[in-house]
Amino acid sequence: MGYAMEAWNYGLETADDDHHKQALADSPPGHRWEYIILVFRPTFVIDQPVHHNSQHDTRHTLPLSATPRQAALIMSPHAIHQSGKHSVDLSKFAVTRNAFLPEHSPPKVLADPYYEPWELVVQHLPTLIRTGGIRESVARLPVLSTDRLRSQAEWRRAYSMLAYMTHAYVWGGDKPDEILPPQITLPFLRASEHLELPPVLTYAAANLWNFSCTGHDFSNLEDLSTLFSFTGTESESWFLLISAAMEAKAAGILQTMMAALEAVKTCDYQAVTDALGELRTCIQNVSALLERMYEKCDPMTFYHRIRPFLAGSKNMDAAGLPRGVFYDEGDGKGEWRQLRGGSNGQSSLIQFFDVVLGVEHHTHGSAGQKSFHTEVREYMPGPHRRFLVHVARASSIRELALAAPTTADQRRLRDAYTAATEALSGFRNKHIQIVTRYVILPSKQPWKGAARQNLASSSSERNGDEELTGTGGTMLVPFLKKARDETSQAGKLER
């Protein structure tokens, strides 16, 4: 039901209770305490004191369509503290000046020579895959402990190395191997537990922690190179580094939007509007980087040589893994696992855009089933996952924008919100265009290279575009279109 709502002000010159007497005693000269009384007919009254200068007077009226949550946002503008900052310590969420990328360029080698066997395999991964020697090389590895890893950066490198070895082992033959040996399984499970990630090639392993930078700007593609590669091709490096640069390009927006979420609490329309303008520009800059994919990534090379190694073991029946992968822990122990492969859906940055704009993604499955966007948070580093939960529990910019506008500031805020969601929809449209060029079109063209059973061969046998499977195990085209449409719907500001 709707609520009839009004806001009345009245001054407080005397007080007959201890709380208000102390408030008056603490007031500086020229100030007075004022009550803003919010009346929600027919249900309840909210009574709260607001401190402001006596030379001003304010009166707020909310529309009948406003919700109680929106009404709770209303307070005197004289109480607003416009600092442009926020009170959240982002470091506890492993958020750095480079956003979700590490503070410094990841290490190029594990310091302890004990880990040289891993380093040698990863260094020669493209050759071992090309010559068919990857599985034999892994079989000769000793089972190494993770106890000698010296820092969080080394844990991340170890995890990424083991993830690359895992996918090279599984997908590096004419047919996939469904049993992962203990030489990889045991340390990989330990590293995954430490970083709160599943034992598979995640976006974090392939993108966030798989780069080296010769400069200080991680968004400068010309200064970036990859640390790990399945093929050793420029196409693979460029594909992965585009995502790393996109993450870095958006670094400053996290601080901006966290401050905007705090500004929502005080209905600081101007601060929120300015932040939304910056968000729109940020998304457009990220989109421009995505469009640079065409410069150095060849579609046929990507589809047939690179993409198959990014696939996980979930929904990969046609690719040769009907039961997933058995993670052999030795001595008769182990577990079958079906895990999603790496995809941009696991980017905490893209989900951050969704969360701050209030874009909701739904599932068409059974009641209680998680949406893909919710499920893939389990494939993000633990601190990043908790950061998104924290942001989702903060104030809602969309709720503030949804209130029927009665002032010019409110109208500007709504326009800025719509523009930001349109930018995000535009980004998702560009992603669909990339998928068309790099997945859909190559799936219809003959490949003259080695014939293997993998995601490329199984996708090429599908009957139509709608049946193509993504590396994350989703029906690729319907999933992307649905995410785009849900973003557009959020921008319409309709209940």
- Residue 239 maps to a domain: yes
- In this structure, what DSSP letter does residue 376 have? G
450 or 182: which carries more pLDDT confidence? Answer: 182
d(C-alpha 97, C-alpha 102), whole Å: 8
367, 423: one domain: yes
Predicted confidence at residue 86, as pLDDT, reads: 74
- In this structure, what DSSP letter does residue 327 have? E
134, 13: one domain: no
Q: pLDDT grade, residue 6 (50/70/90)?
A: very low
179, 261: one domain: yes
318, 378: one domain: yes
Average of pLDDT values for 445-449? 76
* Domain carrying residue 16: 4-79
110, 18: one domain: no
Q: Can you say which residues are annotated as belonging to the binding site for heme b?
A: 431
96 or 363: which carries more pLDDT confidence? Answer: 96
- Residue 382 maps to a domain: yes
State percent of the chain over pLDDT 90: 64
According to DSSP, the residues that pair with 44 across neighbouring strands are 40
Average of pLDDT values for 285-290? 98
72, 176: one domain: no
- Residue 88 maps to a domain: no
Which of 79, 114, 138 marks a domain boundary? 79
The listed range with the strongest mean pLDDT (45-49, 433-437, 442-446, 452-456) is 433-437
Give the CATH number for residue 401.
Answer: 1.20.58.480
Predicted confidence at residue 180, as pLDDT, reads: 98
415, 305: one domain: yes
Which of 29, 45, 79 marks a domain boundary? 79
- Residue 495 maps to a domain: no
109, 144: one domain: yes
Number of domains in the chain: 2
Q: Can you say which residues are annotated as belonging to the binding site?
A: 431
* pTM score: 0.79
Per-residue pLDDT of 60-102, as tens digits, reads: 444 444 454 444 444 333 333 333 477 789 999 999 999 999 9
Predicted confidence at residue 73, as pLDDT, reads: 44
Predicted confidence at residue 479, as pLDDT, reads: 72
341, 204: one domain: yes
- Residue 9 maps to a domain: yes
148, 214: one domain: yes
Q: pLDDT grade, residue 487 (50/70/90)?
A: confident
Determine contact, residues 202/167, Cβ cutoff 8 Å.
Answer: no
3-state secondary structure of 28: coil
386, 237: one domain: yes
Average of pLDDT values for 258-287? 97
Buried-state track 458-481, b at ≥16 Cβ within 10 A, e below 16: bbbeeeebeebbbbbbbebbebbe
**Of 193-202, 246-255, 484-493, the least confident:** 484-493
